[in-house]
A = this chain, B = another copy of it.
Amino acid sequence: MRYAVLGTGIVGQTIAAKLTSLGHEAVIGTRRPEATLARTEPDFLGNPSFATWHADHPVVALQTFAEAAAFGETIINTTAGAAALDALTSAGSANLAGKIVIDIANPLDFSAGMPPTLNPVSTDSLGEQIQRTFPETKVVKTLNTMPCRIMVEPGRVAGAHDVFVSGEDTTAKKQVTELLLSFGWPEDAILDLGGIDTARGTEMLFALGWSLMGALGHGDFNYRVQGAR
Protein backbone atom coordinates (compact mmCIF):
# COMPACT_ATOMS: atom_id res chain seq x y z
CA MET A 1 0.00 0.00 0.00
CA ARG A 2 1.12 3.56 -0.70
CA TYR A 3 0.68 5.94 2.24
CA ALA A 4 0.88 9.72 2.38
CA VAL A 5 1.72 10.93 5.87
CA LEU A 6 0.89 14.61 6.27
CA GLY A 7 3.02 16.34 8.90
CA THR A 8 6.74 16.23 9.67
CA GLY A 9 6.66 16.04 13.48
CA ILE A 10 7.57 12.99 15.52
CA VAL A 11 4.15 11.43 14.99
CA GLY A 12 4.55 11.59 11.22
CA GLN A 13 8.13 10.36 11.42
CA THR A 14 7.20 7.46 13.68
CA ILE A 15 4.24 6.36 11.56
CA ALA A 16 6.17 6.66 8.28
CA ALA A 17 9.08 4.63 9.66
CA LYS A 18 6.71 1.94 10.90
CA LEU A 19 4.92 1.76 7.55
CA THR A 20 8.17 1.32 5.61
CA SER A 21 9.38 -1.28 8.11
CA LEU A 22 6.23 -3.24 7.28
CA GLY A 23 6.99 -3.11 3.55
CA HIS A 24 4.67 -0.26 2.59
CA GLU A 25 5.66 2.76 0.56
CA ALA A 26 5.38 6.00 2.50
CA VAL A 27 6.00 9.64 1.67
CA ILE A 28 5.70 12.58 4.02
CA GLY A 29 3.88 15.73 2.97
CA THR A 30 4.65 19.24 4.21
CA ARG A 31 3.90 22.79 3.10
CA ARG A 32 7.35 23.66 1.77
CA PRO A 33 9.75 20.71 1.65
CA GLU A 34 12.87 22.81 1.11
CA ALA A 35 12.11 25.01 4.11
CA THR A 36 11.44 21.93 6.26
CA LEU A 37 14.77 20.36 5.27
CA ALA A 38 16.63 23.63 5.84
CA ARG A 39 15.73 23.64 9.55
CA THR A 40 18.35 21.73 11.51
CA GLU A 41 17.67 22.82 15.11
CA PRO A 42 15.69 20.59 17.50
CA ASP A 43 12.03 21.56 17.96
CA PHE A 44 10.71 23.27 21.12
CA LEU A 45 10.37 19.91 22.83
CA GLY A 46 13.97 19.00 22.08
CA ASN A 47 13.14 16.50 19.34
CA PRO A 48 15.76 16.36 16.55
CA SER A 49 14.90 18.28 13.38
CA PHE A 50 13.10 16.59 10.54
CA ALA A 51 16.29 16.90 8.49
CA THR A 52 18.15 14.83 11.09
CA TRP A 53 15.50 12.13 11.01
CA HIS A 54 15.30 12.22 7.23
CA ALA A 55 19.02 11.61 6.88
CA ASP A 56 18.42 8.27 8.65
CA HIS A 57 15.28 7.49 6.62
CA PRO A 58 16.08 8.52 3.04
CA VAL A 59 13.59 5.98 1.70
CA VAL A 60 10.76 8.24 2.87
CA ALA A 61 10.49 11.08 0.34
CA LEU A 62 9.51 14.53 1.53
CA GLN A 63 7.01 16.17 -0.82
CA THR A 64 4.44 18.93 -0.89
CA PHE A 65 1.06 18.13 0.66
CA ALA A 66 -0.42 17.87 -2.85
CA GLU A 67 2.33 15.64 -4.24
CA ALA A 68 2.13 13.36 -1.23
CA ALA A 69 -1.66 13.14 -1.33
CA ALA A 70 -1.59 12.37 -5.06
CA PHE A 71 0.87 9.53 -4.37
CA GLY A 72 -0.89 8.01 -1.37
CA GLU A 73 -3.69 5.48 -1.69
CA THR A 74 -4.39 6.19 1.98
CA ILE A 75 -3.77 9.51 3.73
CA ILE A 76 -2.64 9.82 7.35
CA ASN A 77 -3.07 13.19 9.06
CA THR A 78 -0.41 13.80 11.71
CA THR A 79 -0.26 17.58 11.39
CA ALA A 80 -0.75 19.85 14.37
CA GLY A 81 -4.51 19.78 14.80
CA ALA A 82 -5.02 23.51 14.33
CA ALA A 83 -3.26 23.27 10.95
CA ALA A 84 -4.99 20.12 9.74
CA LEU A 85 -7.76 21.62 7.62
CA ASP A 86 -5.30 23.99 5.92
CA ALA A 87 -2.91 21.11 5.24
CA LEU A 88 -5.67 18.96 3.76
CA THR A 89 -6.89 21.90 1.68
CA SER A 90 -3.35 22.30 0.36
CA ALA A 91 -3.31 18.59 -0.38
CA GLY A 92 -6.30 19.21 -2.63
CA SER A 93 -9.78 17.69 -2.63
CA ALA A 94 -9.13 15.91 -5.90
CA ASN A 95 -6.10 14.17 -4.42
CA LEU A 96 -8.12 13.06 -1.40
CA ALA A 97 -11.40 12.05 -3.02
CA GLY A 98 -12.43 8.46 -2.48
CA LYS A 99 -9.52 7.80 -0.13
CA ILE A 100 -9.35 6.88 3.52
CA VAL A 101 -8.04 9.69 5.71
CA ILE A 102 -6.69 8.32 8.97
CA ASP A 103 -6.84 11.23 11.39
CA ILE A 104 -4.39 10.94 14.31
CA ALA A 105 -4.32 14.64 15.24
CA ASN A 106 -5.90 16.36 18.23
CA PRO A 107 -7.13 19.94 17.80
CA LEU A 108 -4.78 21.49 20.35
CA ASP A 109 -4.96 25.23 20.91
CA PHE A 110 -1.77 26.73 22.35
CA SER A 111 -2.98 30.32 22.02
CA ALA A 112 -3.45 30.75 25.77
CA GLY A 113 -0.19 29.01 26.67
CA MET A 114 0.25 25.68 28.39
CA PRO A 115 -1.49 23.37 28.87
CA PRO A 116 -3.10 23.43 25.44
CA THR A 117 -6.88 23.38 25.31
CA LEU A 118 -9.05 21.75 22.64
CA ASN A 119 -10.70 23.69 19.84
CA PRO A 120 -13.18 22.50 18.70
CA VAL A 121 -14.40 20.55 21.69
CA SER A 122 -17.54 18.89 23.06
CA THR A 123 -19.99 20.02 20.35
CA ASP A 124 -17.64 19.17 17.47
CA SER A 125 -14.32 17.46 16.78
CA LEU A 126 -11.47 17.70 14.33
CA GLY A 127 -12.44 14.32 12.93
CA GLU A 128 -15.93 15.58 12.12
CA GLN A 129 -14.56 18.83 10.70
CA ILE A 130 -12.35 16.91 8.29
CA GLN A 131 -15.22 14.61 7.26
CA ARG A 132 -17.54 17.60 6.68
CA THR A 133 -14.93 19.61 4.77
CA PHE A 134 -13.93 16.68 2.56
CA PRO A 135 -17.14 14.67 2.16
CA GLU A 136 -15.65 12.48 -0.56
CA THR A 137 -13.08 11.06 1.85
CA LYS A 138 -13.59 8.32 4.42
CA VAL A 139 -12.27 9.69 7.68
CA VAL A 140 -11.23 7.24 10.39
CA LYS A 141 -10.09 8.69 13.70
CA THR A 142 -7.72 6.48 15.63
CA LEU A 143 -4.46 6.34 17.63
CA ASN A 144 -4.92 9.93 18.86
CA THR A 145 -5.18 8.90 22.51
CA MET A 146 -1.54 7.96 23.11
CA PRO A 147 2.06 8.99 22.40
CA CYS A 148 3.31 7.91 18.98
CA ARG A 149 5.85 5.45 20.36
CA ILE A 150 2.95 3.44 21.79
CA MET A 151 0.91 3.70 18.56
CA VAL A 152 3.48 1.61 16.68
CA GLU A 153 4.72 -0.51 19.60
CA PRO A 154 1.79 -1.27 21.89
CA GLY A 155 3.86 -3.88 23.72
CA ARG A 156 5.91 -1.17 25.41
CA VAL A 157 3.02 -0.66 27.85
CA ALA A 158 2.59 -3.70 30.09
CA GLY A 159 -0.88 -5.21 30.38
CA ALA A 160 -3.83 -5.03 28.02
CA HIS A 161 -4.71 -1.56 26.72
CA ASP A 162 -6.93 -0.23 23.97
CA VAL A 163 -7.03 1.80 20.78
CA PHE A 164 -10.26 3.44 19.62
CA VAL A 165 -11.64 3.70 16.08
CA SER A 166 -14.30 6.20 14.92
CA GLY A 167 -15.70 6.65 11.43
CA GLU A 168 -18.72 6.46 9.14
CA ASP A 169 -17.44 3.91 6.63
CA THR A 170 -17.38 0.28 7.74
CA THR A 171 -15.01 -0.83 4.99
CA ALA A 172 -12.59 1.98 5.81
CA LYS A 173 -12.66 1.04 9.50
CA LYS A 174 -11.98 -2.57 8.55
CA GLN A 175 -8.91 -1.55 6.55
CA VAL A 176 -7.66 0.65 9.40
CA THR A 177 -8.22 -2.23 11.80
CA GLU A 178 -5.99 -4.41 9.60
CA LEU A 179 -3.31 -1.71 9.76
CA LEU A 180 -3.59 -1.58 13.56
CA LEU A 181 -3.25 -5.36 13.74
CA SER A 182 -0.08 -5.10 11.64
CA PHE A 183 1.22 -2.49 14.12
CA GLY A 184 0.93 -5.13 16.84
CA TRP A 185 -2.45 -4.29 18.36
CA PRO A 186 -4.35 -7.37 19.56
CA GLU A 187 -7.74 -7.74 17.91
CA ASP A 188 -9.65 -7.43 21.18
CA ALA A 189 -7.85 -4.15 21.98
CA ILE A 190 -9.34 -2.39 18.96
CA LEU A 191 -12.62 -0.77 20.01
CA ASP A 192 -14.94 0.53 17.30
CA LEU A 193 -16.82 3.39 18.96
CA GLY A 194 -19.18 4.10 16.06
CA GLY A 195 -19.54 7.13 13.81
CA ILE A 196 -17.05 9.96 13.37
CA ASP A 197 -18.88 12.00 16.04
CA THR A 198 -17.41 9.62 18.59
CA ALA A 199 -14.06 11.28 17.84
CA ARG A 200 -15.21 13.94 20.32
CA GLY A 201 -14.66 11.54 23.18
CA THR A 202 -11.23 10.36 22.08
CA GLU A 203 -10.02 13.90 21.37
CA MET A 204 -11.29 15.05 24.77
CA LEU A 205 -9.27 12.27 26.41
CA PHE A 206 -6.25 14.48 25.74
CA ALA A 207 -6.96 16.54 28.87
CA LEU A 208 -6.90 13.52 31.19
CA GLY A 209 -3.73 12.30 29.50
CA TRP A 210 -2.05 15.63 30.12
CA SER A 211 -2.88 15.47 33.83
CA LEU A 212 -1.78 11.85 34.08
CA MET A 213 1.54 12.67 32.45
CA GLY A 214 2.11 15.17 35.24
CA ALA A 215 0.89 12.84 37.99
CA LEU A 216 2.78 9.75 36.81
CA GLY A 217 5.88 11.64 35.66
CA HIS A 218 6.00 9.85 32.31
CA GLY A 219 3.98 9.34 29.14
CA ASP A 220 4.29 5.59 28.73
CA PHE A 221 0.73 4.80 29.69
CA ASN A 222 -2.50 3.96 27.94
CA TYR A 223 -6.06 3.06 28.87
CA ARG A 224 -7.88 -0.24 29.18
CA VAL A 225 -11.64 -0.28 29.20
CA GLN A 226 -12.52 -2.90 31.83
CA GLY A 227 -15.90 -4.59 31.51
CA ALA A 228 -17.69 -7.03 29.22
CA ARG A 229 -17.06 -6.40 25.52
Contact = CB atoms under 8 A, between A and B. Distances in A.
B212 A220 contact: no
A139 interface: no
Given A194-B211, A211-B194, A161 B226 contact: yes
A214 B226 contact: no
Ranked 10 nearest A-B pairs via Cβ: A221-B227, A201-B208, A201-B207, A204-B204, A198-B211, A159-B226, A161-B226, A224-B224, A193-B211, A117-B122
A122 B207 contact: yes
A124 to B, nearest CB: 9
Instruction: Assign chain A's interface to a size class.
Output: 35 or more
A214 B200 CA distance: 14
A119 B227 CA distance: 28
A224 B223 contact: yes
6 contacts: A122-B204, A198-B211, A201-B212, A204-B205, A204-B208, A221-B228
Given A202-B208, A216-B225, A221-B227, 12 more contacts: A112-B123, A118-B122, A121-B121, A121-B204, A193-B208, A201-B210, A201-B212, A204-B208, A216-B229, A221-B229, A222-B227, A223-B225
A14 to B, nearest CB: 18
Contacts of A112: 123
A227 B122 contact: no
A60 interface: no
